[in-house]
Structure 1
């Protein structure tokens, strides 16, 4: 289980900036939780603290009962800017395989995991290509494949579809849900898109404006099997997204000028 308790993050300087204030929530094993909040509320700061890339100013973060003091084993992260997270001089195969070399897996096992991951994201046969030869949506699939090949128990996703078009975004949303259901991985998905949060998540955690606390959370009681056409047309989907939208607007109104 991922557990965040009383998390604070203050950026020191001539004028101290408090980004996160007493933030607490949990994500159960195998759960898919979406986290939304107003622009600039510290979502990425929170995710970097959880990933062990940024040191909190207070509070605790634990993953599977162990305190996070650096990048934890068994955790993978997919970033928003796929163009910067992939190495353009390396092939698709080499990009996906890179973290597996750090695990010191045998070459044959690395090859199996790369092939399985690329097949899972619909990119079988692209191994020799380079990222710059692929569309934006395909590049993000490569980034997801790299995370999947690592066989993580926990997957953090930082607004991973913000830079792709609407149709590609819908395809990638369905891909993430399919991979989550198949692999049983724990997913914390950061997004600024309210509809996306309700469509993807089992729960939606709503953040306040900065300095950030958890403002509200809801259970998404939609059917487990979802599709872009029928799920989004469900009256319950509309009720849930309206609730989340109201909370985000409330957080914006509370934001200091």
Structure 2
């Protein structure tokens, strides 16, 4: 659904959605301004056009700080994805390893990011590495779960055929297991990408020297005078997460054209 950008009908629906979002935001802000003072209403929800004006006015600062947040999140996301993929492959190859690691993998996610971030930042005293580690932390779990499920969903008939033909262990993975796991892997990647950005921002809220989280805190400090900047930072954070999701979706469409949702629209030829 997110990939049919070239379809006229999809473009129409996108315009309708954007227009409805703009009208809804402006309507809520207008209602708040009716019952509150301008300062109180603006501090809760400013008009969307004011946010867009702040976005343009501070575009240089937002781009610079957004690049810092996105860069650290991307590094952590890549590291967490590689770790999750490696563990999923090892756990699928050895049942005893899956039984041993599964409780630790699940229990590691019981610690909330908002509680773990200040601990990690306080231990290593390096904002960049703290953001990378937290992004990797929220990434590896969905990758393991979805990839492992995909590896186990491989066709039994295909595996038996490869076994009967004397295929090597490597061939089992490259020709059957990994292709079967790709849809699950991309599901995990699409879940983890926005979370990696969010976790990096959480670390920045704990006192990092730069990043979107720092802009959020400084904007709140100045109250309604910088409320446009605050909401512009939030919108940029949302945009980074959405772009990451769409980019992974495009790669998924390219690498897994056999999936039903892609076959119905022409697979990878569109």
Give the structure-2-normalised TM-score. Answer: 0.24
- Between Structure 1 and Structure 2, whose CA radius of gyration is higher? 2
Give the structure-1-normalised TM-score. Answer: 0.25
